[in-house]
Copies of this chain bind each other. A is one copy, B any other.
Amino acid sequence: MKRVSKQEKLFIKEGLIMANIKDIAKMAGVSVTTVSRVLNDYPYVSAEKAEAVRQAMEKCNYQRNINAVHLSKGRTFLIGVVVPFSNHPYFGLLIEGIANAALNNNYKLVLIQTNYEEEKEVEALTMLKDKQIDALIICSRICDWGIIKEFIEYGPIVLCEDAREKNVSCTFVDHYKSFSSALHYLYGKGHSRIGYCIGRQSGTNSEQRSAAYTRFLEENSLSFNPDFIFSGCFNFEDGEKIVTDLMRMKERPTALLVTSDQVAAGILTCCKEHGIFIPEDLAIMGFDNQPISKVMHITTLEIPLVEVGRKLFYQAMDGERVSHEEIAVKFIERETV
């Protein structure tokens, strides 16, 4: 046991060296147990001893080492959030909802931006295993379910996709249902050449949309044209490429179902520049009801993303129970169809 010199005692008292709980105990004339009790608002400490502890802490500007607390308690009050991109309105809104709920519950976010690389997703899962985060929310992923399920035993994992057949919690939109209803709405408006724009073609959400589209075509005896499917559509600026592609096509869709209002807004803006009239030449329907859709009068389906984020957080906190929450999608009719 290293003996503390007089010089070090002086430094600790003046806050030049960080004091530890033993220093505080000695200075206050109590045991480390009593100091810990004061720190953790435990009832059985006399008022005078509690005050002595508080004064010692203030004199030394004491701050406990949080890693020691985490080791002892087995919790870090950090929650991991996996997103493919930070700079994207959809995920920005999810993060906002999660972040606000987290701060209201004394949790902090660890943001893991994956760029849709499996290795990064596994890093996030490993943080759960090595106890660096108390829970993990996966907003979008590329890794197989088989990988995720190996980590469930280490802590709560929550998905932002339909996981009703899996033993993890989720908050999700039934994309098959909402995509189908949007397709039927467009069909009811007289459209039979309908295309759609998505971010990527893999993933649970995208598979559901694809299935809905295929089913829709069959039900209505419509032929499938692969050129009517546009992927890689994430941001406003991606609308430009879609319009360029449309201009080149002999046979064009007369309606586009676009899985992001931002992209829909980009398409709309570029169509105006190229003399394509909306909705006469091309009807456009968005998703999410982001603020930009109101400004530009885009017909859309509303998903309350901040609220989804909030629910994801509370599911992650409820580590005892697995729950599956479906989010209702609301139809917002404006001027683009």
Contact = CB atoms under 8 A, between A and B. Distances in A.
A111 interface: yes
Interface residues of A, number: 51
- The number of times this chain is found in the oligomer is 2
B237 A65 contact: no
A130 B86 contact: no
Interface in A226-253: 235-237, 239-240
B67 A291 contact: no
A47 interface: no
Contacts of A99: 86, 111, 113
A22 interface: no
A200 to B, nearest CB: 18
A64 interface: yes
Nearest to A292: B236
Interface stretch (A6-14, A89-97, A310-318): A89-97
Listed residue (A87, A88, A99, A265) with the most chain B CB atoms within 10 angstroms of its CB: A87
Contacts of A265: 236
12 contacts: A63-B130, A65-B71, A66-B130, A67-B131, A71-B71, A86-B95, A86-B96, A95-B111, A236-B295, A237-B294, A240-B295, A269-B269
Interface of A: 63-68, 70-71, 76, 78, 81, 85-89, 92-93, 95-96, 99-100, 103, 108-113, 115, 120, 126-127, 129-132, 235-237, 239-240, 265-266, 269-270, 291-292, 294-296
